[in-house]
Structure 1
Amino acid sequence: MGKKQLVLLFFTAFLIMLGFGMIIPVMPYFAKNLGVNAFMLGTLFASYNIMQFLFAPLWGIVSDRIGRKPLIGFGLLGFSITFILFGLATSYGEMLAYRIIGGIVSAAAMPTVTAMVADLFPPKERAKGMGMIGAGIGLSFVFGPAIGGILGTFGFAVPFFAAGTVAFLTFFLVLFALPESLPKEKRTGAIQREKRENPIAALFGSALSLLYFILFIVSFAMAGLETTFALYINDLYGMTEQQLGYMFLVMGFVGAFVQGGMIGKMVKKLGEAKVLVLGIVLYAVGFLAVPIGSGFWSFALILALFGAGGGMIRTTGTAMVSQRTTQGQGVTSGTISSMDSLGRILGPLTGGAVYAWHPNAPYLIGGVLMIVLLVLFQSRKRYLPEPHPDPAKQESPHTA
């Protein structure tokens, strides 16, 4: 794996997700400015994630057939067009339509970047590659909201135009600089063999269901925290959005540092399974510590635990699945993305509901779920298949 290709994938992931981060601070205000109520705003967010959940595995199948680069380019163009159109929207109906279409087309981009890493890295080095991609994503959510907040002062639509422009420029980076990672001889092409690429089978019909379940629960619990934490620190401690922004800045930097600078060494020394367990432990401690936090620095430290733990879980979990899958890497990465999207659909709904019952409930439930995952993984990990020693075996399960 060449250093140049890794750098290109890092910047591709960073630039793709930078656009997502840029709209975070302004989207609620932009929508409410057009008369959108809380339920309608929730529908806008949910519709995007629902489309990502449904279509990411399907785009993964396509990338296994035609290669990675066309799908990344298609996703970037779709992202660019739909975000610019969203910025031009003058009604809720237009907003919803563009979010739905945007969710469908942009689902082709990031999972395919992950599949590229799986193509290019041998199994023993894959966690390091996934970590670099995770670092790019983490940094995008450090700088994206800050940039979006500044641009939003010039108009709520401006960050959407900027995000669309960034995606369009990234398309040219991919087109001219990023090489294809999946040779024609390793692509799946026979329609009669598509059944083996069924993403439902990947979830429920394989020995990897445990890892998919862990990635889903982690996303579910974290989405519940992200939905309610601003309310929590404001309702109980009177903290402001600016203070919350600084806390998430700390979390983002810690996550990027862990994924970009530490994961490779940790995996080499401990192995993926132990690093995954450590990440879940950090999440458990973080969730259970929220109810006993009392000030800015204590909450910043708690969020730093999530930044570090999240980097460990997502990086090693994704690497472990990609090392053991009998599916193509495209459909595998798409299925992983779907698990994340499903968690981000159900997590906010559940988190909001239990927060209304008691402010500490989302975090206590999150802590309990992490403990359950620890017990489940430790008791079932011996049933996981061994990693493929030869990367080629993971990319050509359909060849004779």
Structure 2
Amino acid sequence: MKKEVKKILAFSGLIWIIANLHHPVTPSYFTGLKLPDHIFGTSYAAMVFAIFITAPVWGSIGDKGKRKLTLVIATFFYGIVQISFSLTTSVWSILVFRVLAGVGAGGFQVSLMSALVDVSKREESKVIMANYSAILSVCSAIGFLIGGMLGYLTPQTVFIIQGVCMIFLSLGIKIFLKETNPQQRVDAKKTKFIWNIVKDKKKSEGVFNLWIITFLFITFFVGLAYSGNNNAFNYYLKAELNMLPVVNGIWKALTGIVGLIANLSINVWIINKTDIKKSMVFILFFNAIFAYLLFLNDSIVPFFLYSFLFFTLYTILLPILQGFAVEGEMKDIGFMSGMFNAIKAFGEMIGAIVAGFSYNLSSKMPFLIAAISLGIAFILSFLSYLRDERGEGESCI
């Protein structure tokens, strides 16, 4: 593995630790302010809506030879926003700063994926994505754990700590990381934003073939299912089971460690030894089953067991989707990474909104919606696999 890949993975780990510090204390912050139940979903939806809008833009700017700059700006901006978030007390101010946080988060999500592909050989990209997902999983869990431990401080203090750490990390990226995409393509005279491609019929048909459209729909429904389940799970622990933030932190740390092991073993085996599309079909099927079983069970032990299986399968599925997003030679890596993150964020936005409002009907309703969404993703994946078997499908991205 190249030295530059290791450096980017190291910075990725630090970013995801810091970016997850606030999650365990946010439910306590909202309940302490006596805000309506839907705020846990709508605030997250506001953030991922901004990711949906800005991710392709960040990716396109990075494709112009400014990958490092986008990463520095995105992390610095996110840090400033989180410090400011500590001052919010109303629904509308929370939503505004969640949108701004999404702008920054979209930038570093796209830039990290694209930078890794910039410095990797094409045949190594899927394995690198598996390594990245492993780091994302375990470091997000570490962030949750640390955030849970910091839950004994006020939530506002945790937000400030998070923001300051992200600002220092931005400066570290500026000093220690090289530009991963220094050469501009000769034919890239104009940044390729999504609206430029949609308006050009020839370009649109070349980019959005049948497989890519199917892949993006699968990504959307997976994002919807994960977001709805995750948001409902976090709020359920506090509102229904009255558990302390540290419990959520420990739980996320446990699932993160298992996710790390799965990414470095199961994912590598899937990538090297199996038909990846076929494997994705099976993963989606079983993930839908576990989401439905999660909806059916009210007892604490089955609830945690099926949640554990659900999140583990998601950590296996994510690098597979990321690998599809960044493979191929005909499209700008930043643009395709941006499209993937945008559609994923759009699904997460819808999932968060649906979870927030369906939770008012029943605390278990978001888990049923997650199961249905994964069922749709399974059907789309299965149909795509059948097309490939009959020789009717499009080639990979």
TM-score category (smaller protein): 0.7 to 0.9
Are residue 218 (structure 1) and residue 222 (structure 2) matched?
yes
Report the Cα offset of residue 69 of structure 1.
0.9
Equivalent-residue separation in structure 1 for 2:228 and 2:11 (angstroms): 28
Deviations 1:334-390 (A, max 9, x none): 1111122112211123234445555554434433433333332222242554357xx
Root-mean-square deviation (CA, aligned residues, Å) is 3.2
| Contact residue 75 and residue 167 of structure 2 kept, 8 A | yes
- Residues 1:202 and 1:180: Cα distance change in structure 2 (over 3 Å): farther
Are residue 53 (structure 1) and residue 52 (structure 2) matched?
yes
Which structure 2 residues correspond to residues 257-268 of structure 1 after superposition, within 5 A?
257-268=261-272
One-letter code of the match for 2:209? S
TM-score scaled to structure 1, two decimals? Answer: 0.84
Report the Cα offset of residue 107 of structure 1.
1.8
Equivalent-residue separation in structure 2 for 1:79 and 1:342 (angstroms): 19
Greater shift after overlay, 370-379 or 162-171?
A: 370-379
- Residues 1:99 and 1:234: Cα distance change in structure 2 (over 3 Å): closer
3-state SS of 2:21 partner: helix
Equivalent-residue separation in structure 2 for 1:52 and 1:24 (angstroms): 17
Match of 1:149 in 2: 148
Match of 1:107 in 2: 106
Are residue 347 (structure 1) and residue 356 (structure 2) matched?
no
| Contact residue 78 and residue 106 of structure 1 kept, 8 A | no
Equivalent-residue separation in structure 2 for 1:202 and 1:86 (angstroms): 42
3-state SS of 1:121 partner: coil
Gaps of 5+ in 2: none
Match of 1:288 in 2: 292
Deviations 1:229-276 (A, max 9, x none): 35667898x573565554433322222221234322331011422332
Report the Cα offset of residue 325 of structure 1.
6.8
Report the Cα offset of residue 279 of structure 1.
2.4
- Residues 1:192 and 1:17: Cα distance change in structure 2 (over 3 Å): closer
Are residue 206 (structure 1) and residue 209 (structure 2) matched?
yes
Report the Cα offset of residue 61 of structure 1.
0.9
3-state SS of 1:227 partner: helix
| Contact residue 215 and residue 339 of structure 1 kept, 8 A | yes
Equivalent-residue separation in structure 2 for 1:357 and 1:56 (angstroms): 33
Equivalent-residue separation in structure 1 for 2:91 and 2:236 (angstroms): 29
Gaps of 5+ in 1: 389-400
Match of 1:396 in 2: none
3-state SS of 1:157 partner: helix
TM-score scaled to structure 2, two decimals? Answer: 0.84
3-state SS of 1:22 partner: coil
- Residues 1:339 and 1:325: Cα distance change in structure 2 (over 3 Å): farther
One-letter code of the match for 1:262? I
Report the Cα offset of residue 127 of structure 1.
1.8
Match of 1:138 in 2: 137
One-letter code of the match for 1:170? L
Equivalent-residue separation in structure 2 for 1:213 and 1:355 (angstroms): 25
3-state SS of 1:183 partner: coil
One-letter code of the match for 1:308? T
Match of 2:303 in 1: 299
Report the Cα offset of residue 179 of structure 1.
2.5
3-state SS of 1:345 partner: helix
1:316 to 314, 320, 336: 320
Deviations 1:122-165 (A, max 9, x none): 34322211111112221222121222233232322221122112
Match of 1:120 in 2: 119
3-state SS of 1:107 partner: helix
Are residue 13 (structure 1) and residue 22 (structure 2) matched?
no
| Contact residue 255 and residue 304 of structure 1 kept, 8 A | no
Are residue 85 (structure 1) and residue 84 (structure 2) matched?
yes
Equivalent-residue separation in structure 2 for 1:164 and 1:353 (angstroms): 29
3-state SS of 2:86 partner: helix
Identical amino acids, percent of aligned pairs: 19
| Contact residue 243 and residue 296 of structure 1 kept, 8 A | no
One-letter code of the match for 1:328? D
